[in-house]
Chain A
């Protein structure tokens, strides 16, 4: 496919790898924020093309992984009800809640449907006026335009039987939280290309400046990631701290203004809990006052469901780049993609799952 295949050229990849080998004279720790990048890195073996000096740590940019246990439990509380059709992206179905997961509820007869787009859930609501249709709106800034449009259209259509269980998170506050932690090891960032396609990258200038870390907006194909690493290493070696854009073919500095406009009409910024990390200030979206009728948390009075995270799973430390998956005693023993203990093992974009599948 055009714009994919040519960015997977092995000859050019090894050329970039040689360049990085030449540039790196000191040890550097670089974090890729996005789970999609983590998956590419491990799948294509990009980590094995790097010199020993460069350590890649895998960030919290997998919405499936960071959706709090509490939110999964809230989804589970309503998903099995006879009057409800629960719609979700497929990868949320196997995320373990406290006692079960959505796939098991579906197996027991719950009307749980996998949709490709939130607009498909709108269609389900129109076709089933006697049922309540709830869409599980998880995601980062890249998914926010789609979810914002679904609510906007639902209101315009006057749909009364449609609501969203929202667990939207934002990347820059999470980067800030990681960098301000005492145990932080990250010296440079590859920022998530598709999040920046929506939001632009002006927010990163303050972070780069405050923590003196280079940030390179990076794409998802092997050549993108290798070039992003090369640009980041070059900055680190030269002692520069800048925000650079590797993914110029899809990302502009100001981002997608049409999408930002609708997002700001529908959502407001709130503090959000992240699975394994805890609450981060200003790190999420919820529906603003005008769209409260579409908030499943309010509609089904789910606010009382509070769940504490398990201490067994190291996913929080893994999401912050402090531990590697194989440093967990449960990894591959008690915990595997078939029977995951925590969310980083569930999603294919989770670091543990990627390490397990590709035998790291």
Chain B
């Protein structure tokens, strides 16, 4: 029900003067769906958005998205140091 999945914006329709009607075509692993971009008016083509029931709820921060892997990498290095 609260499932929201990331997809890539392929195109945008509408203008920033009327943000409530901003729409875009979003690609979910090959499936294109029309999604309201009313709540992410700063989104650009190529951005990833988290979509729930036809609405983009947030922009995926591509820098932050990599941080979990940095965290894991650090942990991995720590683990290696601990092996006698």
Query: Which residues of chain A have a CB within 8 Å of any CB of chain B?
Result: 1-4, 6-7, 12, 15-16, 18-19, 34-36, 61-64, 89, 91, 116-120, 138-140, 142-143, 145-146, 149, 152-153, 192, 194-195, 197-198, 220, 223-224, 227, 246, 248-252, 256, 258-259, 262, 347, 349
B61 touches A4 (CB 8 A): no
Q: A1-B6, A91-B1, A258-B41 are in contact. List 20 more A-B contacts (CB 8 A).
A: A2-B6, A15-B75, A16-B72, A19-B75, A63-B2, A116-B53, A117-B53, A117-B54, A140-B2, A142-B2, A143-B2, A146-B55, A194-B4, A194-B50, A197-B50, A227-B68, A252-B58, A256-B40, A256-B57, A258-B40
A143 touches B1 (CB 8 A): yes
For residue A197, which residues in chain B have a CB less than 8 angstroms away from its CB? 4, 50, 57-58
For residue A3, which residues in chain B have a CB less than 8 angstroms away from its CB? 6, 48, 60, 65
Which of these, A61, A246, A251, contacts B2 with CB under 8 Å?
A61
Which of these, B36, B54, B57, contacts A194 with CB under 8 Å?
B57
Q: Bound complex: CA of A262 vs CA of B61, how far in Å? A: 23
**Residues 39 to 61 of chain B near chain A (Cβ within 8 Å):** 39-41, 48, 50, 52-55, 57-58, 60-61
Q: Bound complex: CA of A91 vs CA of B40, how far in Å? A: 27
Q: Bound complex: CA of A152 vs CA of B20, how far in Å? A: 10
A149 touches B1 (CB 8 A): no
A224 touches B68 (CB 8 A): yes
Q: Bound complex: CA of A91 vs CA of B2, how far in Å? A: 11
Nearest-CB distance from B57 to chain A (Å)?
5
**Residues 1 to 59 of chain B near chain A (Cβ within 8 Å):** 1-6, 8, 19-20, 28-29, 36, 38-41, 48, 50, 52-55, 57-58
Q: Report, nearest first, the 7 A-B pairs whose CB atoms are least far apart.
A: A117-B54, A1-B29, A249-B65, A3-B6, A248-B64, A197-B58, A249-B64
For residue A227, which residues in chain B have a CB less than 8 angstroms away from its CB? 68, 71
For B, the interface residue count at a CB cutoff of 8 angstroms equals 37
A347 touches B39 (CB 8 A): no
A145 touches B2 (CB 8 A): no
Q: Bound complex: CA of A63 vs CA of B52, how far in Å? A: 14
For residue B40, which residues in chain A have a CB less than 8 angstroms away from its CB? 256, 258
For residue A119, which residues in chain B have a CB less than 8 angstroms away from its CB? 36, 54
For residue B20, which residues in chain A have a CB less than 8 angstroms away from its CB? 149, 152-153, 262
For residue A349, which residues in chain B have a CB less than 8 angstroms away from its CB? 1-2
Nearest-CB distance from A135 to chain B (Å)?
11
Nearest-CB distance from B22 to chain A (Å)?
10
For residue B75, which residues in chain A have a CB less than 8 angstroms away from its CB? 15-16, 19
Query: Which residues of chain B have a CB within 8 Å of any CB of chain A?
Result: 1-6, 8, 19-20, 28-29, 36, 38-41, 48, 50, 52-55, 57-58, 60-62, 64-65, 67-69, 71-72, 75-76, 79
Residue of A nearest to B30 (CB): A1
Nearest-CB distance from B54 to chain A (Å)?
3
For residue A61, which residues in chain B have a CB less than 8 angstroms away from its CB? 2
For residue A62, which residues in chain B have a CB less than 8 angstroms away from its CB? 1
For residue B50, which residues in chain A have a CB less than 8 angstroms away from its CB? 194, 197, 250
Nearest-CB distance from A42 to chain B (Å)?
15
A249 touches B1 (CB 8 A): no
For residue B39, which residues in chain A have a CB less than 8 angstroms away from its CB? 145, 256, 258-259, 262
Q: Bound complex: CA of A6 vs CA of B65, how far in Å? A: 10
For residue A252, which residues in chain B have a CB less than 8 angstroms away from its CB? 58
Nearest-CB distance from B70 to chain A (Å)?
12
Which of these, B53, B57, B71, contacts A118 with CB under 8 Å?
B53
For residue A91, which residues in chain B have a CB less than 8 angstroms away from its CB? 1
For residue A347, which residues in chain B have a CB less than 8 angstroms away from its CB? 1
Residue of A nearest to B23 (CB): A119
Q: Bound complex: CA of A146 vs CA of B20, how far in Å? A: 11
Which of these, B28, B41, B53, B60, contacts A250 with CB under 8 Å?
B60
B1 touches A4 (CB 8 A): no
B71 touches A36 (CB 8 A): no
For residue A195, which residues in chain B have a CB less than 8 angstroms away from its CB? 2
A146 touches B52 (CB 8 A): yes
Which of these, A12, A139, A145, A153, contacts B57 with CB under 8 Å?
A145
